A and B are shown apart, each in its own frame.
Chain A
Amino acid sequence: MSEVIRYQGIPFVARFRLSAGELMERFYQSLKAKKLTALKCNCGYTVFPPRIRCPKCYARLTEENLVELSGKGQILSFTKVYFKLDGKGNFVDLDEPQVLASIKLDQSDSIFFAKVCGEPKDGAKVEVVWREETKGEFSDILCFKVVE
């Protein structure tokens, strides 16, 4: 058995700047206005976030199909998360566990994986909590809070 020499990669981080496309650009602009938007297909399926093909009937979706969601939804399932990954492959324990839930937004058929603040129960109704000063980014959505 020949032994081996272990070596580390030279320091380099590959940076990506991914083009979002027109639909997602409009979606992020609507976040700035504290609005959640989705696309409602003629077949009835509402896909969130917006994209060019309906997941159910594959029809072409455009800005005409745009609908605004209420920001309310229901928890399908949730979990208490105790760790994070640091991007380099290491587990990092969280100071205190955060709640992650798969949420079905009202009027939308897609699942939204989002953080939940407060103690959720299964099937609990939730509502989006916006960052004070939104910038049109994913982090404008702080979390979802339990409504009742």
Chain B
Amino acid sequence: MRVAIIGYSQTKFEYDVEMTREEMVFKTAKDAIESAGLTREDIGTVISASTDFLDGRTISNCMLIGATGAYLKDETKAEEDGMYAVLYACQRILAGIHDVALVVAHTHSWIFNPHQVSVYMLDPLFDRQNDLLNDITLAALQAKAYMKRSNATEDDLALVSVKNLKNASNNPYALRKMPDATIEDVLNSKIYADPIRELMVAPPCDGAAAVVVASEDFAKKYCENPVWIEGIGNSCDAYLRDRDLSRLVSLEIASRKAYDMAGISDPYREIDVFEVTERFSHQELMIHEGLGICGDGRGANFIRMGITEFYGDCPVNPSGGALSGDAICATGLVRLIEVAKQIVGEAENQIDGVQRGLAHAQWGLCAQKNLVFILGGDYEA
């Protein structure tokens, strides 16, 4: 039994948008349902994605029942990235209880700085009392640990930002675009904690995204161009103190599971496009290794040789990725949508002949949790 994406919508990523969170969620949910050619009545279950600390509201979904279209629907809220809500939606469909699910994810970073929220993800009994610790300084330690284990240099980190910020200039939804970004621009941007500078950090912003997923029978009956979910892999690493910061072990586990489910043995050749959530530029290089598409410690070669440009052999983040805009709970879901758009041929920086794509979301400090989706077009495999 397979599940397909039959509709999606995303908002333009902005900061301090001229819209309430309720209206943004309402517009996004409505557009996604319309893009699937359905009405609210066709939706069986609604899963929203947001967190109480980011929204500044305990039970952040209770006043959004109308906006998410969940009035008198089988509803719940995933309190992490929207891609995890899609995983849960697939589970509700595969369990044979629902046919059509709507997933809506949002974060308005203007409400409260997500970097400040990251401090509350630290163990309060110990780490939180070190006032230097937050997601950026921890990412800096991760970057240094990775650079020590691999051949990556600061220039390589800057190259990732240059690639993604250039890709973003063709993307109408992106927040941050730099058509002619250079390594110097990135290395001269404001330093936070070496080697991490402002243009190497995904900029928190306001945004929402939504997808409609449906069972195989429903999708075949009502959708000309379904995007099939062929593989899913999910894994969570230990807490910061008892974990190897220089590699993404949970991504290695998650991607293997997704490949097995999708019957992929050589991801580098069999996958045509990758949309990954790189909250910091060094993480894109680590993600190459976690996905097993390059040798251990060789992540930097890909960016140096232009392999991951959208015209390269192994395009990564043609949409500009998280470095072009990070609406926290919506960012991973947007990666999923970008891969779906590549498959149906509606993407910015469209790569021709995309049959299979990989979307990745991360969650937690230094990408403690990783989730991988393999999507495929309606070709006869």
Contacts and interface: CB of A to CB of B under 8 A. Distances in A.
Interface of A: 1-4, 9, 16, 18, 20-21, 24, 47-49, 55-56, 76-85, 87-91, 98, 100-102, 109-115, 122, 138-139
B240 A113 contact: yes
Among the interface residues B142, B191, B242, B245, which one has the most CB atoms of the partner chain A within 10 A?
B242
Interface string B131-164: 1111011101111110010000000000000000
A85 B243 CA distance: 25
Which 7 residue pairs spanning A and B have beta carbons closest together?
A89-B113, A77-B144, A79-B140, A138-B129, A55-B242, A89-B116, A77-B145
A48 B239 CA distance: 12
Q: How large is the interface on B (under 10, 10 to 19, 20 to 34, 35 or more residues)?
A: 35 or more
A4 B19 contact: yes
A55 to B, nearest CB: 4
21 contacts: A1-B18, A4-B20, A9-B56, A16-B124, A21-B125, A24-B125, A48-B241, A76-B245, A77-B145, A79-B193, A79-B196, A81-B140, A83-B193, A87-B116, A100-B130, A100-B133, A101-B141, A102-B145, A111-B240, A113-B240, A113-B241
B19 A1 contact: yes
Contacts of B133: 100, 113
A9 B241 CA distance: 35
B144 A82 contact: no
Contacts, number: 111
B23 interface: yes
Interface string B96-140: 000000000000000011011001000011110111111011101
Interface of B: 18-20, 23, 56, 112-113, 115-116, 119, 124-127, 129-134, 136-138, 140-145, 148, 191-196, 238, 240-243, 245-246
Contact of A81 (B113, B115, B193): B193
B328 to A, nearest CB: 14
Given A79-B194, A113-B240, 20 more contacts: A24-B126, A48-B241, A77-B148, A80-B193, A80-B194, A81-B132, A81-B192, A83-B136, A83-B192, A85-B113, A85-B134, A89-B112, A100-B130, A100-B133, A111-B245, A113-B127, A113-B133, A115-B130, A138-B126, A138-B130
Nearest to A4: B20
Contacts of B238: 55
Contacts of A83: 136, 192-193
A89 B116 CA distance: 5
Nearest to A89: B113
A88 B116 contact: yes
